[in-house]
Amino acid sequence: GENVEQHPSTLSVQEGDSAVIKCTYSDSASNYFPWYKQELGKRPQLIIDIRSNVGEKKDQRIAVTLNKTAKHFSLHITETQPEDSAVYFCAASISSMDTGRRALTFGSGTRLQVQP
Amino acid sequence: ETGVTQTPRHLVMGMTNKKSLKCEQHLGHNAMYWYKQSAKKPLELMFVYNFKEQTENNSVPSRFSPECPNSSHLFLHLHTLQPEDSALYLCASSLRGAGGPSYEQYFGPGTRLTVT
């Protein structure tokens, strides 16, 4: 099955700096890569996703890049703010016309701390 | 509110007890999931139901028994648990199937389970 590895496990940055979280996946058939944010005591929520037919996607201060050849994808947060502090999870899954989308395989999470 | 509710929010049970966790989604989704979240494995998929049919079981011990009577409700029946089963149990739902408009998983708030 799919295996997703995520690094680093913890990341501390100063407010205004950029943060980068990296994930690798094992199944070359995976074609959908979402990122979830989980604030302390709250449920995980989708913040951005990318499909394998694009290499980069941006949404304001958040961007995700995908390298299919190397089987890795990254989350980039620019101009970090204290409210960005949370645990971030990457995930991967396979979508096909025959079976629809398989369940997500999540990475182990990155605890991001933005120091004011 | 994300439209996914879970009850109870907190549960303390002894190893010989039988209890059930309930999840309900009001989003018109056709797939539901149980996850276990602990310090050791942050988001560990347990079960997947697609149109009320179990499609994935990630080698979960038989002391956890899921039930999906319809596409809006999901239960997790607990029996003779171990202290290491103490964790946050998260339910999620999504749309699944080829050509669907969205595959975002919406999580419930979770049930914090403590096994004594």
Chosen for mutation from A4, A101, A102 (greatest number of chain B CBs closer than 10 Å) is A101
Q: How confident is the model at residue B100 (pLDDT cuts 50, 70, 90)?
A: very low
Structure tokens at A67: 């390298």
What's residue A2's pLDDT? 83
Q: Is the separation of the CB atoms in A107 and A71 below 8 Å?
A: no
Integer Cα distance of A109 and B72 in angstroms? 29
DSSP letters spanning B83-101: GGG-EEEEEEEE--STT-S
**Looking at the partner chain, which of A97, A99, A104 has a beta carbon nearest the beta carbon of B105?**
A104
- Strand A56-59 relative to strand A62-67, pairing: antiparallel
Q: Taking the CA atoms of chain B, what radius of gyration do you get in angstroms?
A: 14
Inter-chain residue contact A95 with B98, CB threshold 8 Å: yes
Q: Distance from B103 to chain A by nearest Cα, in Å?
A: 8
Structure tokens at A103: 């369940």
* CA of residue B88 relative to chain centroid, distance: 10
Within 8 A of A90 by CB-CB distance, chain B residues are none
What's residue B97's pLDDT? 58
What's residue B99's pLDDT? 44
Integer Cα distance of A51 and A83 in angstroms? 27
Q: Distance from A26 to chain B by nearest Cα, in Å?
A: 17
Q: What is the pLDDT of residues B38-88, one digit of tens each?
A: 988 889 999 988 877 777 777 899 999 999 999 899 999 999 999 999 999
Q: Is the separation of the CB atoms in A2 and A105 below 8 Å?
A: yes
Question: What is the torsional sign of CA B101, B103, B109, B113?
Answer: positive
Question: Does position B96 have pLDDT exceeding 80, yes or no?
Answer: no
Q: Does A101 touch chain B (CB under 8 A)?
A: yes
Inter-chain residue contact A34 with B104, CB threshold 8 Å: yes
Inter-chain residue contact B110 with A97, CB threshold 8 Å: no
Amino acid at A114: V
CB burial of residue A84 (10 Å; 0-12, 13-18, 19+): buried
Amino acid at A71: K
SS3 content of chain A, % helix, strand, coil (to 5): 5, 55, 40
Within 8 A of B55 by CB-CB distance, chain A residues are 103
Beta bridge partners of B20: B77
Within 8 A of B43 by CB-CB distance, chain A residues are 44, 89, 106, 109
Question: Does position A19 have pLDDT exceeding 70, yes or no?
Answer: yes
Inter-chain residue contact B103 with A95, CB threshold 8 Å: yes
Integer Cα distance of B24 and A84 in angstroms? 29
